[in-house]
Structure 1
Amino acid sequence: MNKNQHRPTMTDVAKLAGVSQTTVSFVLNNVSSGNISEETKTRVLKAVKALGYRNSSPVYDLRNSRTHMIGFVTDEIGTSPFAGDTLRGAQEMAWASNKMLVLLNTGGNKEVEEEAIQTLLEREVEGIIYAAMFTRQVTPPASLRNIPTVLMNCFSIDKEFSSVIPSEVSGGRKATEALIKAGHNRIGLINGEPWMHATEARSEGYKKALETHGIEVDTSLICYGNWRPDSGYDNTMSLMSLPNPPTAIFCGNDLMAVGAYQALAVLGKQIPNEVAVVGYDNQEQLAVYLKPPLSTVALPHYEIGRWAVKHLLELIESEKKLPAVQEKISCPFISRESI
């Protein structure tokens, strides 16, 4: 190749063949689910040959041609309030292993996501972290099947990929048990939106704690909010209006706990003497400065970032395909003065 000529990319192949980059990727990586016609495959392969394009897919042995780059594809985590600790954990582990983290934020746009992944493949990254802002089930792009990949804060239903998420069930259980140990057996739960994984898992932990301690689950004490202070306020007002109101409230996140604090203040209820409150997330700039400081459960953002990169490096270094690992990282209880 002439020094003044640029190395052909997948974009060049797509343009010459008159198809999308996704189609080119599917053809080169033999992805059967693409339903691509033989005529289209032939056109793509002719364009590859004409341009002299070399597939950057990890089907090639990257151990012999290291780029020392790790791709980090995310929907919104790069702009979320929890991004700092997650990225710091991932970056520190990457740097410790002489790797550079290449972050691409897609805004949840699937077309942008596919472009981002193809760009990383063309840059010959050694592996990819596929991250989500909130914990949920995902269907990873087919183009990730041929490169070491770890799902971070998300998981696939078929468990084909290794993943790491918070241990939300145990977190919900710890929050509830802290209230039980303080002498409470009428514990309200103000949870998030019902369709979310975190909501379901924290609720499961709440119920398990009650059942373990011989306390009947009272569905009138369980309500759902929108993760914001207004729903914490409204639901606290509803709970405290019950004929037999709770003596403690477990809020599904710290922001709803703020609303609970406001409602209890309006009702003239002292925290924790009359009603105890526990949050979830440990947003320190918020929880520490509430009066009294909020007891809560911390999400292990930093640890999740570190684990994702550490396991990805294990996949990269392995001479054989390793079985997928579904890791759940403990959520510690942070005791302050609201119990």
Structure 2
Amino acid sequence: MAQRPTMHDVAAAAGVSQAVVSLVLSGSSAGRASETTAQRVRDAAAELGYRTNLQAKSLKTGVTEIIGLVGDEVATSPFSGMMIKGAQDRAWQDQHTLMTVDTGGDDGLERAAIDTMLSHRVRGIIYTAMYHRELTVPAAALDTRVVCLNARDVDGRAPSVIPDEVTGGYEATRALLDAGHTRIGMINIHTSLPAATGRLEGYERALSEAGISRDPELIRPGDGTHRSGVRAIGDLLDLPSPPTAVFCGNDRTALGAYQALSARGLEVPGDISIVGFDDQDVLRDFFQPALTTVQLPFTEMGDRAAALALDAAAPAEVHLVHCPVIHRRSVGPPKGR
């Protein structure tokens, strides 16, 4: 087996000292070596096929160029791929690698994953959840830099990156108000979730600002499933004065609403306008016409979490990420206008 090239070989090929090679390849040469010299070192390293010895570097610095990501269902959640991509791209941009473990909600596996990451001396751990919720960060993870992703640390010991559910609900309702609707229903998801309470708060705030009183008849509970959308839209349509528009707490609920409306011979948006929440790409093609919805910014959230994992000085604050409205074709003026 051919011997791997060493830093000494790179220095000899570039005609510089090993110290200069170390500075250049660690990204610390600014002001210490000219750009011409630095490029000569990089070219020599590339030509020789030299790779930095990360193990030796970690022994010297006490950390590796790795960020850990531990999640309960990151391999199966429809959104987790975007969070991982955002975190991975940010880690790679900062010359780090992302190590990901899906625990499947198994506490024993979670402890083992965290111990393994700590043994690798990771720069930090991103502790993520499949859906937005409050949680307690495992004590072991606090032995390094830890950041919560799509979850809020109830003890306030770690920075948390979560979607701005309230503003998302507000802007979803605002889209219907701007189209001329004044009688707007809402079908919520699980009421115990921060997502549900936040989206409802935004809905009510938008109505209040528009001078529209809260009408409990127009707010229907749900569980975030297609079935609850079918049931709740039926209840709303059977009211003596049904809504002309409905804000659905997620896209699966909106899909149920679409199908229930079609079964009654009603059209979106001609008879009733619909706005969803999530912008799930796996459901997008099932909506005819295309659904106006609020996008959960998972890629941006993953990016922000990885950046915080690399910033040991960042305080343990909650970071809200904006959820933009994606305007498509399911919103129109009230029927008859």
Contact 1:288 1:294 in 2 (8 A): no
SS of 2:185's equivalent? strand
Provide Cα deviations, 1:189-238, integer angstroms capped at 9, x if missing partner: 01101111111110010000100110111011111112111110111001
1:86 deviates by: 1.0
Aligned residue for 1:78, secondary structure, equals: coil
Match 1:218 to one of 215, 219, 223:
215
Q: Is 1:73–1:106's contact at 8 Å kept on the other side of the alignment?
A: yes
What residue number does 1:113 align with? 110
Between the two proteins, the alignment pairs up a number of residues equal to 274
Q: Does 1:81 align with 2:78?
A: yes
1:175 aligns with 2:175: no
Shift of 1:65: 3.1
Structure 1 counterpart of 2:260, which letter?
Answer: A
Alignment partners' CA distance in 2, 1:147 and 1:62: 16
CA distance in 2, matches of 1:89, 1:179: 31
Q: Report the CA distance between 1:84 and its aligned residue.
A: 1.7
Q: Deviations over 1:249-278 (max 9, x none)?
A: 111111111110011111121211110001
User: For residue 328 of structure 2, what is the aligned residue in structure 1?
Assistant: 336
- More off after superposition, 284-293 vs 172-181: 284-293
1:289 Cα deviation after fit: 4.5
SS in structure 2 of the partner of residue 103 of structure 1: strand
Q: Give the TM-score of the pair, scaled to structure 2.
A: 0.79
Task: Structure 2 unaligned segments of length 5 or more: list them.
Answer: 1-57, 332-337
How is 1:1-339 mapped onto 2 (pairs within 5 angstroms)? Answer: 64-315=61-312, 321-339=313-331
**Aligned partner letter, 1:324:** A
Cα distance in 1 for residues equivalent to 2:314 and 2:297:
25
Distance 1:275 1:237 in 2: 13
Determine the C-alpha separation between the residues in 2 that align with 1:91 and 1:190.
35
Q: Distance in 2 between matches of 1:271 and 1:212?
A: 26
Alpha-carbon distance between aligned partners in 1 of 2:226 and 2:137, rounded to the nearest angstrom: 33
Q: For each residue in 1:165-212, what CA deviation from the matched residue of structure 2 results, as whole angstroms up to 9, or x when unmatched?
A: 000000000100000110111111011011111111100100001001
Deviation of 1:114 (Å): 1.2
DSSP 3-state at the match of 2:140 = helix
- Pairwise CA distance, 1:285: 4.1
Q: Which moved more, 1:140-149 or 1:328-337?
A: 140-149
Q: Which runs of 5+ in 1 are unaligned?
A: 1-60, 316-320
How far off its partner does 1:286 sit?
Answer: 2.2
Normalised to the residue count of structure 1, the TM-score between the two structures is: 0.78
What one-letter code is carried by the residue in structure 1 that aligns with 2:96? K
Q: Distance in 1 between matches of 2:216 and 2:130?
A: 30
Q: Deviations over 1:101-147 (max 9, x none)?
A: 11011111222211111111112112100000111110111112221
Displacement of 1:284: 3.0
* Structure 1 pair 262–155 and aligned structure 2 pair: CA distance change class (3 A): same
Tell me how far 1:328 sits from its aligned partner: 0.3
RMSD: 1.4
Q: Is the 8 A contact 2:308 2:314 kept in 1?
A: no
Distance 1:235 1:337 in 2: 22
Structure 1 moving runs of 4+ over 3 Å: none
Aligned-partner Cα distance in 1 for 2:81–2:153? 25
Provide the rounded CA distance (Å) in 2 between the counterparts of 1:328 and 1:97.
23
Percent pairwise identity: 43
**Partners of 1:287 and 1:295 within 8 A in 2:** no
State the distance in 2 between where 1:282 and 1:170 align: 16
In 2, are the aligned partners of 1:62 and 1:126 still within 8 Å (CA)?
no
The more displaced of 198-207 and 116-125 is 116-125
Residue 54 of structure 1: aligned partner: none
